[in-house]
Amino acid sequence: MKALTFRSFGDSSVLTYQEHPTPELRPNEVLIEMKAIGLNFADIYRRKGNYHLEGTPPYLLGYEGAGIITKLGDAVPDLQVGQRVAFADVPNANAEFVAAPFDKVIPLPDSISYETAASILLQGLTAHYLTRDSYDIHPRDLVLIHAAAGGVGQLLTQIVRLRGAVPIGLTSSTEKADIAKQNGCEHVFLYADDWVEKILTLTDQRGIDVVYESVGSTLMESFRATKIHGTVVFYGMAGGDPVAVDPRLLMDSSKTLTGGDLWNVLTTREERIRRAGELFSWIASDQLQLASPTLFALSDGRRAHDYLESRQSTGKILLIP
């Protein structure tokens, strides 16, 4: 089979599209012929050597995608050859074929295309647990969403509205502010402005009920924008490491700082299927809408990585074998 591989860490030039051994199945695995593969910033970080990466060179990136089952391991129940499936957390996805443990495989309904599945699962399941588990959104909550025009940000905005709360966005440009508004943000502020003061003015100095903090370097500003008894959900640091938090700050203001990690939530096959099923039903009923993905051939992976790193994209980037 062909795969997008690399042997040393660095920029996109380390990526090579080449022949690679087709994976051999273990008894609990299925072989999936890939139709669409999600590209995420975690792939960039692993390529650069900033994230944990298992195995030995040549390395394969990718954890998210969709395709069709072509072979079953001897101990696989409930799945069939020819079945359309997807996954959010199976390594080595940047290839024509992927071996996936059956408990991580999510069956696709007819209404969900391969491209939609590869676009929604990782970011959609993240937005799902953030609004259910990290903080349970209630009607009329004021919700501040960092990077509101990004992949997770757009989905968070829509789910917050689905739950009857009020999404307020933060973006880096007026163009991205327009995207955030199109997805349902009632107010959008720019990072270049004094956004904390603008939010406090908007809320009559009360502050926000919950802030979804994915930038990292803005953590203390997020606390300032949060109300007494409010919550900051920290789930990313795309803009740099956060400062250390003195717990006395939490005690003095009765504020909560909580973290979030998708892999602490997707602990069983049933959880994956249940949560993905809710996303799929929202999409099928037009309650959740996705921006059209940008497609690159898997063989053109270098250019796809460069495009993602340029931060020009506002929708999902997919690799097509």
Q: What are the structural domain ranges in the chain?
A: 2-121+266-320, 139-259
The fold of the 139-259 domain, in CATH, is Rossmann fold (3.40.50)
Residue owning tokens 């290839």: 95
Q: How confident is the model at residue 130 (pLDDT cuts 50, 70, 90)?
A: very high
Judge whether residue 52 has pLDDT over 80.
Answer: no
pLDDT of residue 318: 98
Q: What are phi and psi of 180, to 5 degrees?
A: -60, -40
Q: Give the pLDDT confidence of 185-240 residue by residue, as tens digits.
A: 999 999 999 999 999 999 999 999 999 999 999 999 999 999 999 999 999 888 88
Q: Does 3.90.180.10 match the CATH number of domain 2-121+266-320?
A: yes
Cα(145)–Cα(170) distance, rounded to whole angstroms? 6
Amino acid of residue 92: N
| Predicted TM-score of the model (pTM) | 0.93
pLDDT digits (tens, 9 = 90+) for 178-200: 999 999 999 999 999 999 999 99
Q: Could you give the C-alpha distances from 146 to 151, 271, 277, in angstroms and in order?
A: 11, 27, 26
Residues ≥6 apart with Cβ < 8 Å to 221: 195, 196
Q: What is the pLDDT of residues 10-47, one digit of tens each?
A: 999 999 999 999 999 999 999 999 999 999 988 998 99
Between these two residues, 301 and 236, which has the higher pLDDT value?
301
Question: For 295-309, what is the HEC assignment?
Answer: EEEHHHHHHHHHHHH
Res. 314: pLDDT tops 80: no
Q: Rounded CA gap, 321 and 317, in Å?
A: 13
